Chains A and B, each alone.
Chain A
Amino acid sequence: MISYKNKDRINIFLLLLPWILTFLVFWAYPVVYSFILSLSEYKTLSNETVFIGLDNYIAMFNDEVFLKALSNTLLFVFVTVPITTSLATILAVMVDRTNGKLKEFFKAAYFLPSVTSLVVIALIFKNLYSKEGYINTLLQMVGMSGQSEGWLQSLDTALPAIMAMDIWIATGYYMIIVLAGLQTIPKDLYEAADISGATAWQQLKSITLPMLKPTLLFILVVNTIKSFQVFIEIYVMTKGGPLNETTTLVYQVYQNAFEMADKMGYASAVAYVLFFIILVISLMQMKLLKEKY
């Protein structure tokens, strides 16, 4: 191994310098500053910061829009994550049975939404979901009435429409991960099951799913963390409307910080609540993975 020499120490320092600077200036400082801001009232015009303790955190519980954003975000997580995970698993098991060019084609097609910009996808769906959009046209073709107000304009359908789009985007991505997980299952397990006469369904239930557990757990956590941060689709498609029906935690952070006066401190507090939720999920995941696998 390379020994400790002064010259080498300087080299090591220089090699690490870009990361150390980036870490301090663009990550560590913002995280700390954001916490201080969350305990303050920031006056936009005079650029003053007044310390107000936990007032911002307490104010959240009386802010109806925040509570709506919290419940929307939780709804988003609890609806989209299980559906995406199940669809991804079903599709992966099916794609795993195909071969050669067809398999490559499916992988590429299903992954397409994941490489396309979310802004672009949100724009396309805004078009498809509109009052005279193609989704209504299709529904009318098969004799249904469609959504006469437009899917994103109606209180009842705005949030579900965005959730459906997010499921459409994410399913292919997680399908690829499950597919990779399937490759790690030893083939002789299935051979043994074949010999003892187990049906395909039995094999799925007692070999595939248990062996996929670490992969599925990983997907659940990653997808949960992602779904807690829904923002771009809301900004592009509904701006939180109609009547805050589709607002989310990150959208509240954005709106308070950048569209309202003197609310940057409050917005930072909302951001910190979100940070705390995500941190707890990440730590739980690490503990679970360590314990079981």
Chain B
Amino acid sequence: MAVNLKTLAHNENLLTGGHRACAGCTGANILRQLMLTAGPDTVVGSATGCMEVVTTIFPYTAWKTSFIHSAFENSAATVSGVETAYRALKKRGELPVEREKINFIAIGGDGGTYDIGLQSLSGAMERGHNMLYVCYDNEAYMNTGIQRSGATPLGAHTSTAPAGTVKQGKEQNRKDLTSIMVAHNIPYVAQTTPYHWRDLATKVEKALAVDGPAFINILMPCPVGWHFDTAIGQDLAREAVESNFWPLFEVEDGVYKVNHKPKDPTPMTVWMEKQGRFKHLFRPGNEHLLEASQQWVDLQWKRLLRLEESTNG
């Protein structure tokens, strides 16, 4: 499968402009790239969150495909219902329009996916629905005002785990949701970012082609929550990969493939110092937190390489 920029650029833009995402939001990039690849014969279901709120303010919708939002924690369950209805209606020859294939995509932010929607996601993946779940992971509850989530990295300042005189932001490492999804033994799991558009489009194409559930976790730099200049969101996505904080990899039928191995990974501090959420970690006395962040990333990276090795043996 080769993704071609020329073809992609000519596909219809299924998320129109005029939505109300913040300046510099990389989430809208993610959705556009996702939908350019998925095409018009797609039903999207979204969890409550930034991307749902900014794209569907009544009486407007930015979606040129069918779209459903029901609640925060249930986009996987909701889309599993849509997909089941499709199979049931198709079986009886009762579909409103004949299509060889309709894509079913559930989306959610990290709050709606790592945390409140995890049970619903796990259930839908285990049941084997023919659907893709895409998490746009901006590492906190941005829509409600930047509260910490299970995806927030160690030391990050959020409104519920702020940096103060005694505490230094989030006290725990982030949850490894992608691994949790791999543990569901579904046909396709991947991580990517909107900077790596070809990687993202290829992964969406693969995910939609498998028979069964697929999951893609996409890092989404957020200028509001991460506190950075609105021009550099995509750069931060690239640097997250170059520092090994957010490796590009995919797991097809249990076999790991790391899609990009930085020859000389940049230190975490290079990525972190551009983000206001980590500013306090650069104060004297907090060196151990910067070290801990680096150690954790190094450990995760080694683990990933070992998984790649062991599953390709």
A pairs with B: no
Binding site for B on A (CB under 8 A): none
Binding site for A on B (CB under 8 A): none
